[in-house]
Amino acid sequence: MALVLPLAVMTSAHPGSFGQTAAAPAFDLIPLPRVVEPRQGDGFVLTPQTVIYVQDRSADAQRIGQYLSSVIGIAAGPEPPRVEPARSSPAAGGIHLRLNDMKEPEGYELTVEATAITIAAGRPAGLFYGVQTLRQLLPALIEFEAVRADEKRPLRVPAVTIVDHPRFRWRGAMLDVARHFFSVDEVKRYLDLISIYKLNRLHLHLADDQGWRIEIKSWPNLTRHGGSTEVGGGPGGFYTQAQYSEIIAYARDRFIEIVPEIDMPGHTNAALASYAELNCDGKARPLYTGIEVGFSALCVDKEITYRFIDDVVREIAALTPSRYFHIGGDEVKTLTPEQYVRFIERVQKIVQSHGKQVVGWDEIAPAALAPGTLVQHWRPDGSPTAAVSKGARIVMSVANRAYLDMKYDNSTPIGLNWAANIEVRDSYEWDPADVAPGISESALEGVEAPIWSETLGSMRDVEFMAFPRLVAIAEIGWTREDGRKWEEFRQRLGAHGPRFTALGINFYRAASVPWK
Ligand code: NGO
């Protein structure tokens, strides 16, 4: 019989149990859960007979069962574990996934005993996060496809009870597919990797000066011409609408919401090169393959500009389950403040007319913002106070902490350093609620780690900049602030080295981390 106590009882009965940093360093979980209670006994051993029982018949729950089976793969037996509906009286043995009345929308309880593993959650998302925690309790070798199955055994999971839920609703990563294009398979790989660390948003920066990356059927030259190059002059690329939908479905299966961004009115050279009529002088701009910013802007006083935006937002919104549409709004240097504010307010109406809410970079704050707007705070010297006072919620991406394209130190061969050099410790040791006066926990929607690709020409480059700093940001998004300590985190992070290696991640072996 599993001992599963309500969270409140467990935390008050065991005030020192949070994170179990002293008692259970062996678990090395990232992000650190709220409550980790080691149990008596040897834990559970997976065998060829282990079955995954899914109590709920929903498609989501069944998919999570299949996902767990594919993560375990042939590590426990000649075939991945079978996935079966749960029996009415719970069978001993096996891994049980079940939905209960837990209130926390992304929370879960994981219990490992010698006789059974149980993951219970109020909603499928929580089951999925419980599965990711279980995955980290299994040896890193399970991730290694090239290793013979018998070398992975015995697959022993330590006896433990974990009760967990995240700090923030928005735990994001952003990938700039405009400066350099990344294929559908590369985006899927990024989704796979970020899902291990319980991130739940992937913001795709789909258009910038150097490239337009999503098919718009009513404006076909955007991709035909505007998608034909990238920084440095390479061939670029774009997603067809079918491919974009494929990415969304892949993300959804990992409980990740895709947030599309079409940056405007600046960062629009690819559109201005594709359609002469979007320029105030009616002349198409040449394609651009450099890395300057701030030189381009849509012609905000022409009506065709708003027909264009309406078409683009309509087509993308129709494919996108997220309630959000990111309109960029950053670094506009060629418009007056009045022109800029009028533009943002008009575009906000367009976005709303297609059933979505605006997300924008922090420059949009001077505009009249609709309730529920998200402002993404990125400028280290800026203040989100104005946005917060208008009722906007903040996604914290402050560049000197959360930008994954910043160099680690002066010797990092790729990346930028305009905001800072960001060592792993710098990316971990900060609190999003403490970045600027005027922000409090309640104004924060969450955190997001953007990776801009001016200098990143391949997925290997992206991985080198993202790992391990993205993992640090993932913990900031999930774990309670009072449970995080760099000295302890770096030990756990070091234990993820073999897992990174097994997953084939090209990661930065920071000297400050005791890599195993
Ligand atoms: C800025 C700029 C981007 C750059 C990035 C590089 C924002 C929001 N606008 O961040 O265009 O790619 O810095 O770090």
Could you give the CA distance from residue 262 to residue 192 in angstroms, rounded to a whole number?
24
pLDDT tens per residue across span 304-316:
999 999 999 999 9
Residue 331, ligand 1, Cβ within 6 A = yes
Residue 403, ligand 1, Cβ within 6 A = yes
pTM of the model: 0.94
Could you give the CA distance from residue 167 to residue 41 in angstroms, rounded to a whole number?
31
Measure 294 CA to ligand 1 centroid, in angstroms: 10
- Residue 147: the pLDDT is 66
Residue 361, ligand 1, Cβ within 6 A = yes
- Backbone dihedral angles phi then psi of residue 446, each to the nearest 5 degrees: 160, -155
Residue 261, ligand 1, Cβ within 6 A = no
Which residue owns the Cα nearest ligand 1 atom 12? Answer: 452
Which own/partner pairs from 81-84 qualify as long-range (CB within 8 Å, at least 24 positions apart)? Answer: 81/46, 81/50, 81/51, 81/52, 82/51, 82/52, 83/51, 83/52, 83/54, 84/51, 84/52, 84/53, 84/54
Q: Is the pLDDT of residue 15 over 60?
A: no
Measure 231 CA to ligand 1 centroid, in angstroms: 14
Could you give the CA distance from residue 28 to residue 492 in angstroms, rounded to a whole number?
5
Residue 405, ligand 1, Cβ within 6 A = yes
Residue 293, ligand 1, Cβ within 6 A = yes
pLDDT tens per residue across span 92-149:
789 999 999 999 999 999 999 999 999 999 999 999 999 999 999 999 988 987 666 6
Q: Is the pLDDT of residue 152 over 80?
A: no
Of all atoms in ligand 1, which is nearest to the CA of residue 179? 12
Of all atoms in ligand 1, which is nearest to the CA of residue 376? 8
Average pLDDT over residues 439-465: 96
Question: Cα 193–395–465 angle (5° rounding)?
Answer: 35
431: its two tokens: 């609190």
- CA torsion sign for 177, 180, 185, 188 is negative
pLDDT tens per residue across span 27-38:
999 999 999 999
DSSP helix, strand, coil percent of the chain (3-state; round to 5)? 35, 20, 45
pLDDT band with cut points at 50, 70 and 90 for residue 91: low
Domains plus CATH for the chain?
Answer: 35-164 (3.30.379.10), 170-502 (3.20.20.80)
Could you give the CA distance from residue 385 to residue 156 in angstroms, rounded to a whole number?
50
Could you give the CA distance from residue 137 to residue 72 in angstroms, rounded to a whole number?
12
Could you give the CA distance from residue 112 to residue 162 in angstroms, rounded to a whole number?
9
Average pLDDT over residues 267-292: 98
Least confident range of 136-150, 405-419, 446-460:
136-150
Measure 488 CA to ligand 1 centroid, in angstroms: 32
In terms of Cβ atoms closer than 10 Å to its own Cβ (0-12, 13-18, 19+), residue 126 is buried
The answer to whether 324 and 356 are in contact (CB under 8 A) is yes
Which residue owns the Cα nearest ligand 1 atom 7? Answer: 330
Measure 399 CA to ligand 1 centroid, in angstroms: 9
Residue 378, ligand 1, Cβ within 6 A = yes
Q: Is the pLDDT of residue 19 over 90?
A: no
Average pLDDT over residues 358-378: 97
Residue of 262, 292, 330 with the most ligand 1 atoms within 8 Å of its CB, for mutation: 330
Measure 329 CA to ligand 1 centroid, in angstroms: 11
- Backbone dihedral angles phi then psi of residue 77, each to the nearest 5 degrees: -165, -175
- CA torsion sign for 211, 215, 221, 225 is positive
Q: b/e map of 287-305 (b: 16 or more CB within 10 Å)? A: bbbeeeeeebbbbbeeeeb
- Backbone dihedral angles phi then psi of residue 438, each to the nearest 5 degrees: 95, -10
- DSSP letter assigned to residue 454: T
Could you give the CA distance from residue 398 to residue 419 in angstroms, rounded to a whole number?
9
SS3 per residue for 142-172: HHCCCCCHHHHCCEEECCEEEEECCCCCEEE
- Tally Cβ neighbours within 10 Å of residue 460: 12
In terms of Cβ atoms closer than 10 Å to its own Cβ (0-12, 13-18, 19+), residue 16 is exposed
Measure 136 CA to ligand 1 centroid, in angstroms: 34
Q: How far is CA 444 from CA 388, 396, 501, in A?
A: 9, 7, 34
- Tally Cβ neighbours within 10 Å of residue 469: 27
Using alpha carbons, select from 401, 415, 485, 422 the residue that is nearest to residue 453. 415
Which residue owns the Cα nearest ligand 1 atom 5? Answer: 452
- Residue 93: the pLDDT is 83
Chain-centre distance of CA 128, in angstroms?
A: 15
Which residue owns the Cα nearest ligand 1 atom 6? Answer: 452
Which residue owns the Cα nearest ligand 1 atom 10? Answer: 378
Average pLDDT over residues 412-441: 94
Q: Is the pLDDT of residue 21 over 50?
A: no
**Going along 265-391, which residue ranges are E strands?**
324-328, 357-361, 374-377
**Catalytic residue selected from 104, 186, 331, 345:** 331
Residue of 452, 455, 469 with the most ligand 1 atoms within 8 Å of its CB, for mutation: 452
Measure 452 CA to ligand 1 centroid, in angstroms: 7
The answer to whether 31 and 492 are in contact (CB under 8 A) is no
Which residue owns the Cα nearest ligand 1 atom 9? Answer: 330
pLDDT tens per residue across span 197-230:
999 999 999 999 999 999 999 999 999 999 999 9
> What type of residue sits at position 247?
I
Residue of 293, 361, 381, 469 with the most ligand 1 atoms within 8 Å of its CB, for mutation: 293
Residue 219, ligand 1, Cβ within 6 A = no
Tell me which of 259 and 5 has the higher pLDDT.
Answer: 259
Angle between the N-to-C axes of helices 486-495 and 469-478, in degrees from 0 to 180, rounded to the nearest 10: 120
Of all atoms in ligand 1, which is nearest to the CA of residue 331? 9
Give the DSSP H/E element, type plus range, for residue 286: none
Task: Give me the percent of the chain exceeding a pLDDT of 70.
Answer: 93
Average pLDDT over residues 429-435: 95
pLDDT tens per residue across span 462-491:
999 999 999 999 999 999 999 999 999 999
Q: How far is CA 88 from CA 118, 127, 322, in A?
A: 15, 19, 36
Beta partners for residue 208, in sequence order:
211
- Tally Cβ neighbours within 10 Å of residue 441: 12
3-class state of residue 462 by DSSP: helix
pLDDT tens per residue across span 343-355:
999 999 999 999 9
331 is catalytic: yes
Residue 429, sorted as left (phi over 0), alpha (psi -120 to 50) or beta, turns out to be beta
Which residue owns the Cα nearest ligand 1 atom 13? Answer: 452
Which of the given ranges, 41-50, 77-86, 172-181, has the highest pLDDT on average? 172-181
Residue 362, ligand 1, Cβ within 6 A = no
- Residue 8: the pLDDT is 30
Measure 306 CA to ligand 1 centroid, in angstroms: 25
Residue of 269, 331, 377 with the most ligand 1 atoms within 8 Å of its CB, for mutation: 331
219: its two tokens: 């404006």
SS3 per residue for 393-451: EEEECCHHHHCCCECCCCCCCCCECCCCCCCHHHHHCCCHHHCCCCCCHHHEEEEEEEE
